[in-house]
């Protein structure tokens, strides 16, 4: 029930925003701080929470983990002796990064994060996939800088996000492929560079990637319908872009590359849960790409795109809650029942 209250607060903010015709930034920050408090003071709640608590003071479990995340863990451990509160410190950092984005956001960015990002991703990023959460929050700030034409800072932060989760390499590749300013030969060079970087990461962190592969291999592959909700979200986002005023070549590239990667990742779900994680990332980076396209054209976001964010947010939130209910029976730190860290 407490998760539903969190979502209701988000939609209360959106309703107030619509009624008063004002971005209501302070109300958005208040909602985010309440959601952040829910995540920071959780007990053993959230799929990966238990695993992170076990890994904090175990060098073997931390082997191969992204260097940026390891640095944050090291700094938190130097201040906090309890692994439970070290993990909660990571959640606090994520919450502050999202609040920073909101504080600096223009009207379109604020609607984007509250209507789309928070309903679908906030609980997972703050209570489950913590490395992806930090990486994604940094990537959002990079998007913000890109929209302000601070390109060098944006590129630097985008690559910093990779230091918190290697999968952000795909996000950078995707944005490179759909960028209308990138000519053919440079596009090929970008793809080649990303492949080289991925190979170097695999070579330098072989033990980590072998372990991840083995972990996914022992889990029964998802069913035929697994990942369908992510595909639906991608289709909704593409639909909003299709009826927008964005340049047609831009839209065509978005559709082409999204459908391509959707097919690849859907195929991966037939043999591994890694495909589901990549579909989640595709949903996130597609929305980021659409926001970035509006930044390049220097025009306000169309109603069709705003409507697609709102619809995707509602459907995505429903899917998240459904997964929470299903997971309660097998995870060592299930989403339900929710309890606080002080109840342990």
163 — phi, psi (to 5°)?
Answer: -70, -10
pLDDT tens per residue, range 279-316: 999 999 999 999 999 988 888 999 999 999 999 999 99
Q: How many residues does the chain have?
A: 344
pTM for the structure as a whole? 0.90
Q: Which of 2, 82, 92, 90 is nearest to 48 (CA)?
A: 90
Question: Average pLDDT of 39-63?
Answer: 86
Distance between CA atoms of residues 107 and 253, nearest Å:
26
Angle formed at CA 216 by CA 213 and CA 220, multiple of 5 degrees: 145
Say what percent of the chain tops pLDDT 90. 56
Alpha carbon separation from 33 to 122, 133, 183, 245 (Å, rounded): 12, 16, 43, 35
Q: Report how far residue 38's alpha carbon sits from residue 47's, in angstroms, rounded to the nearest whole number.
A: 15
As given in the structure block, the two tokens for residue 272 are: 């591994």
Q: How many H helices and E strands in the chain?
A: 17, 0
Q: Give the model confidence (pLDDT) of 10-29 as tens digits.
A: 999 999 998 887 778 999 99
What tens digit of pLDDT does each residue of 88-134 get? 999 999 999 999 999 999 999 999 999 999 999 999 999 999 999 99
pLDDT of residue 37 exceeding 60, the answer is: yes
Contacts of range 329-332, beta carbons closer than 8 Å, 24 or more positions apart:
331/47, 331/50, 332/44, 332/50, 332/51
How many beta carbons lie within 10 A of that of residue 207, not counting itself?
A: 10
The neighbour count for residue 321, using CB atoms within 10 Å, is 16
* Cβ–Cβ under 8 Å, residues 291 and 112: yes
Return d(Cα 281, Cα 120) in angstroms, integer.
12
């Amino acid at each position: 029930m407490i998760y539903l209250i969190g979502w209701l607060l988000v939609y209360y903010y959106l309703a107030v925003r619509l009624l008063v015709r004002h971005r209501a930034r302070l109300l958005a920050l208040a909602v985010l701080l309440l959601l952040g408090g829910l995540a920071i003071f959780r007990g053993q709640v959230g799929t990966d929470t238990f695993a992170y608590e076990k890994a904090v003071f175990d060098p073997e479990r931390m082997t191969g983990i992204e260097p940026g995340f390891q640095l944050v863990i090291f700094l938190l451990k130097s201040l906090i002796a309890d692994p439970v509160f070290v993990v909660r410190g990571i959640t606090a950092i994520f919450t502050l990064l999202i609040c920073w984005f909101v504080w600096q956001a223009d009207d379109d960015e604020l609607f984007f994060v509250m209507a789309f990002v928070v309903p679908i991703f906030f609980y997972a990023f703050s209570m489950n996939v913590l490395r992806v959460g930090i990486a994604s929050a940094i990537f959002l700030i990079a998007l913000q800088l890109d929209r302000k034409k601070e390109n060098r800072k944006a590129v630097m932060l985008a690559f910093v996000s990779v230091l918190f989760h290697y999968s952000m390499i795909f996000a950078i590749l995707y944005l490179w492929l759909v960028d209308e300013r990138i000519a053919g030969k440079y596009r090929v060079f970008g793809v080649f560079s990303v492949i080289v970087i991925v190979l170097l990461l695999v070579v330098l962190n072989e033990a980590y990637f072998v372990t991840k592969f083995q972990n996914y291999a022992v889990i029964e592959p998802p069913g035929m319908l697994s990942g369908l909700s992510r595909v639906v979200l991608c289709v909704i986002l593409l639909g909003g872009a299709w009826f927008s005023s964005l340049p047609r070549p831009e839209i065509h590239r978005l559709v082409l590359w999204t459908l391509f990667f959707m097919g690849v990742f859907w195929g991966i779900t037939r043999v591994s849960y890694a495909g589901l994680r990549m579909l989640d990332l595709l949903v996130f980076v597609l929305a980021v790409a659409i926001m970035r396209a509006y930044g390049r054209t220097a025009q306000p976001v169309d109603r069709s795109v705003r409507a697609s964010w709102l619809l995707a947010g509602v459907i995505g939130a429903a899917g998240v809650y459904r997964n929470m209910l299903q997971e309660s029976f097998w995870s060592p730190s299930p989403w339900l029942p929710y309890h606080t860290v002080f109840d342990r």
